[in-house]
Chains A and B, each alone.
Chain A
Amino acid sequence: MINRMALLALLLLTASFAAASNNLYFAHLKYSGGNWDPEPFAWSEICDFLVNTTNIRAVKEPVAVTLRGKEIYKYPVIVVTGDSGFEEWSSAETETLKRYFDGGGICIIDDSTGLNNSAFQKSITREFEKVFPGAGFTRVKESSALFFSFYLKPGVYGSRQSVPYLSGIERNNQLAVIFSHNDLFGIWEKDKLGNWFKDCVPGGEFQRFEAMKLTVNIFMYALTGTYKLDAIHTEYIKKKLEQLNLKYEEKK
């Protein structure tokens, strides 16, 4: 299944793009309390993969942003990670995030515990309830453009399989918040010898590869939105799914 030669070549390549605001930054939200950066080496691997396998122009150097000040508005995509509960955001911080979504920003959240109902998840749910009162997280449908943005219907995995779906909050007919519960970024970290830090349980390497595809799709969605739901693409996607004996569910 894997093109070994390609994998070898990939390991040798360490390309990325120069800082320019139209390129993809890993704008990582730094918050108080808890652990805002549980997987500090993941982005470097994700960035390489994105640059080498897709046309995304990703910047390798991660950027830490906070909800205090206006720096966050320079980045149309932000990432929130954690493995424990964190302090409540102030009303000013909540307002900053509200405005961020008003402006069209997208937020990707990964729970590094890989557990359902973790303390991190509870903190996230609490804070986003303030940002989107009454909206709340819902299950991202399998018909979402996210599952077709680059790879075809990747499995919803991370280093764990505790929740079989992604959660999200929609705004203006597209996902503004994408929440992975299964420690998605954890699958990317390697030691200095190139060995994976974490095993993928229970699916092993198949689970890792599906999680890699899902990661690409999430970042691709953050840059292209619902592009793959345009009629011109859906016909093609339907055909491919038929070839793979999979069903295409119309988005409602």
Chain B
Amino acid sequence: MAFEFSLIALLAVAVAAASFALTWSQAERKRLVLLVLRSAAYLIILFVIVRPALVKNESVTGKTMLAVLCDTSKSMGLKEPVDKTALLKKTLKDMLGPIKKNYGLEFYSFAGSAQKVREQELLQAEFNGEITDLAGAILQVKEDFEREKPGQEAGIIIISDGNHNASSDALSAAAEAGLQVYTVGTGAARSGFDLEVAEATVSDIAFRNIETTVTARVRGINAKGIKAYVVLKEGATVLAEKTAEIGDDGADTDVVFSFTPKETGLIKYSVAIAPLKGESSTENNSKEFAVSVLKDKVRILYISGYPNPEYRFLRQVLKTNPNYEVVSFIMLREAQDLAFFPENSMTLIPFPATELFARDLSGFDVVILESFAYAGNGLPPEYLANLASFVEKQGGAFVMIGGEDSFGRGYYKSTAIDALLPVEMKGPDETFSPGFFKMKPEEHPLNRIAYTKEESEAAWEAMPELEGCNVLLRAKPGSFVLGRHPTIKGTDGELIPIIAAWQKGKGRVLSVATNTTWRWSMELAGNGTGTQYYSKYWQGLFNWLTNAPDVKQVRATSDKKVYLKGEQIKAACLALDEYYRPEDSAVVNLSVTEPSGKKSVISNLAFSGSGAYECGVEAKEAGKYVLEASAFKGGKELGRDSIVVEAFASSNEEKGRFLNEKLLKSLAEKTGGAYINAGSNSALKIKIRPAMHSTVVRSRKEAWDSPIFLLLAVLLLAADWYIRRTSGML
């Protein structure tokens, strides 16, 4: 419309100019012509600048669309008890014929994910999908319709045996899609006598030493009243057993088991029904699942050589963290101390060295020895070797805090602890320097006790003095030093380490060559700055020791811990800068180690906002996948983190011989669609209007976007220039 208005206006101006020109003198006419030419040129330029467009609403008609989803998972390729493939092809040829006349059909093949295909391709499809994900397929169709045919009426026809075995909920997905779903059951319903574990429902995550539950859904055919013996197993070990009475055919009976995981990690469990004589299939009598068992609390064993303030202050820091459980022992008296009152008037318990160092060590996450001498406390060398193994092989953490009975003075030289520590020590003649000193902090993320670098440096500047330290020889190569003595030098010519740490095997070790850090708390409070730097520093050290997520700059995650073979692992990585703020301009790569050991790298993960980066990895084979994310900023590595997820072999596909009519009927009923068995001769009745329908489509044409206008403006200006030149007006 704007285009038309502009042309009329242009024409009107031209006509007016011409009529005036006939009555005027030659000079006046020239001036008028020049005025018209220039005005016309400027109007054209203005027209282009305003960018007018033609907008048109048109009514478009089309057929109602139906997406035909054909299940190409392995279970559809099974020939017994009926040939499902043949049934599927028959459905495509015969049943869809009449529907095609009235509806527009789009074909999809689906197993783990859905792909658009041509009808002919379905007739030659290979049935090798490792998983059946009805939910994922329904949601994908919904997305496609919304994108490609917005506002158009549509529905879904699913041709499948209904053996949905992905972890998603098909009924919820159908409700979310809001489309009518028509299901064509392909296969024979279960017959004969059979028992089945249909499902095992459990949280992906559980906590060590905290009871969790799993609900096993069992059902049977021709088994009403049968008492099934159901067991919960971890590997081959039976954790719990129950008897469940089977109800009507296909009706679910829930069996709830409680169990308490004892180990952390990804633990495999299974629920199984003891096979009974005459069962038509025993393959479906068990269901595997895995649970990621996390630590409930960080368990800390704190052993102190004598009652002292360092113990009381540090224990208080640990006790205020609700995630920590502290078990502590202090040597309140020694064998040579006098017993002024009878023994039974004391509350002392014998030091349980064997229980702690031989039996229960693996139950802890951190062990602290503070001013605790190896000699004189009845520890055989094997116990120290156990402690070293606890760190290096089990991934535990060890802290040695200084004092007059620690390090070399505690007779740890040449023991397993000597090799474990990140520092070199002398023997029993090691010097304990008694003076006051101010620790020199090194530049390290663990030393960042304030929000910014400047604040952190100022906080360290104001840190009070410590008193007394073990004069160690030097920090070992491979360790990192957090703080040094300001004046005493070691054998390597460097200032001796006061706080040093390293990764040792799977675990972490911290060495603190003084036991007066409590002075930080007291004197900081005395200076009116509060005690937060004291507690924050120790808390940071313990976070590092226990590998707590809080101290990781790069954190790898996944949407689930357990997948089925063929499913997509949604991996994500959170990258933070050195002050733990989201890093939005990092380069994040993901290294994937497949169960076979094959490695691949996905470079430059897609940024998804607020320091997060993500990608998908297909679980092509069953087993453990190690996903290691590494993040870089400006060529510098921010950090790396790895997680392990597991993909289960979808043995359910081979087990899916029968038709899951119940699910297919439910899908149809809940969405207002209809169900039909592919073997029947009935027609599938689609309830959605088949008639052509119209949709208003709004189109827009950019009227200004033509080279003619540019050419016209140039010609008008050129004519103006020519007239002026020939008239001597230039």
Contact = CB atoms under 8 A, between A and B. Distances in A.
Contacts of A10: 338, 340
Interface string B517-537: 011011111111011000000
B548 to A, nearest CB: 23
A149 B348 CA distance: 9
A55 B333 contact: yes
Contacts of A9: 338
Contacts of A172: 316, 320
Given A230-B326, A240-B344, A100 B526 contact: yes
B650 interface: no
B309 interface: yes
Interface residues of A, number: 61
Given A103-B524, A225-B312, A220 B340 contact: no
B100 interface: no
Contacts of B305: 55
A23 B338 contact: no
B347 interface: yes
Contacts of B338: 3, 6, 9-10, 13, 52-53
Nearest to B432: A20
A22 B348 contact: no
- B306, B341, B468, B523: most-surrounded residue (chain A CB, <10 A): B341
B347 A151 contact: yes
Contacts of A23: 308
B331 interface: yes
A240 B343 CA distance: 11
A104 B319 CA distance: 14
B307 A232 contact: no
A53 B339 contact: yes
B553 interface: no
- A21, A236, A240: most-surrounded residue (chain B CB, <10 A): A21
Given A49-B340, A53-B337, A220 B332 contact: yes
B328 interface: yes
A223 interface: yes
B529 to A, nearest CB: 10
Interface string A91-103: 0000010011011
B332 A150 contact: yes
Nearest to A237: B347
Interface stretch (A68-76, A111-119, A136-144, A178-186): A68-76
A76 B518 contact: yes
Interface in B286-302: none
A125 interface: no
Give the contact-size bracket for chain B: 35 or more
A1 B341 CA distance: 7
A151 B333 CA distance: 12
Contacts of B527: 70
A233 interface: yes
A244 interface: yes
A3 B340 contact: yes
B80 interface: no
A240 B347 contact: yes
Given A99-B525, A103-B524, A236-B349, A227 B330 contact: yes
A151 B341 contact: yes
A28 interface: no
A213 B345 contact: yes
B341 A2 contact: yes
Given A52-B338, A73-B522, A244 B307 contact: no
Contacts of B518: 76, 104
A104 B531 contact: yes
A225 B309 CA distance: 9
A22 B526 contact: no
Interface string A151-179: 11000000000000000000011100000
B480 interface: no
Contact of B327 (A13, A213, A232): A232
Given A20-B468, A49-B340, A104-B518, A76 B349 contact: no
Nearest to B514: A22
Given A1-B342, A54-B332, A104-B522, A21 B467 contact: yes
- A74, A103, A233: most-surrounded residue (chain B CB, <10 A): A103
A236 B333 contact: no
Contacts of A76: 309, 312-313, 518, 522
A233 B308 CA distance: 19
B250 interface: no
- B308, B310, B316, B337: most-surrounded residue (chain A CB, <10 A): B308
Interface in A52-72: 52-57, 70, 72
Contacts of B16: none
Contacts of A54: 307, 332-333, 337
A14 interface: no
Contact of A20 (B327, B331, B334, B434): B434
B311 interface: yes
Contact of B337 (A52, A105, A223): A52
A209 interface: yes
A149 B330 CA distance: 11
A104 B313 contact: yes
Contacts of B319: 173, 226
B360 to A, nearest CB: 11
A224 B314 CA distance: 10
Given A21-B468, A23-B308, A76-B309, A213 B519 contact: no
Interface string A206-232: 000100110000001011111110101
B347 A228 contact: yes
A79 to B, nearest CB: 15
A193 interface: no
A12 to B, nearest CB: 11
Contact of B340 (A24, A53, A102): A53
Given A55-B307, A76-B309, A151-B345, A21 B519 contact: yes
Given A7-B340, A21-B468, A224 B522 contact: no
Interface of A: 1-3, 6-7, 9-10, 13, 18, 20-24, 49, 52-57, 70, 72-74, 76-77, 96, 99-100, 102-105, 148-152, 172-174, 209, 212-213, 220, 222-228, 230, 232-233, 236-237, 240, 243-244
5 contacts: A52-B337, A55-B331, A55-B333, A73-B523, A236-B347
Interface of B: 305-313, 315-316, 319-320, 326-328, 330-334, 337-342, 344-349, 371, 403-404, 434, 467-468, 515-516, 518-519, 521-528, 530-531
Given A55-B307, A104-B518, 11 more contacts: A7-B340, A22-B309, A99-B525, A103-B521, A103-B522, A148-B347, A150-B332, A213-B341, A226-B319, A232-B349, A233-B349
List the 4 closest A-B pairs by CB distance, nearest first: A103-B525, A73-B526, A223-B307, A103-B522
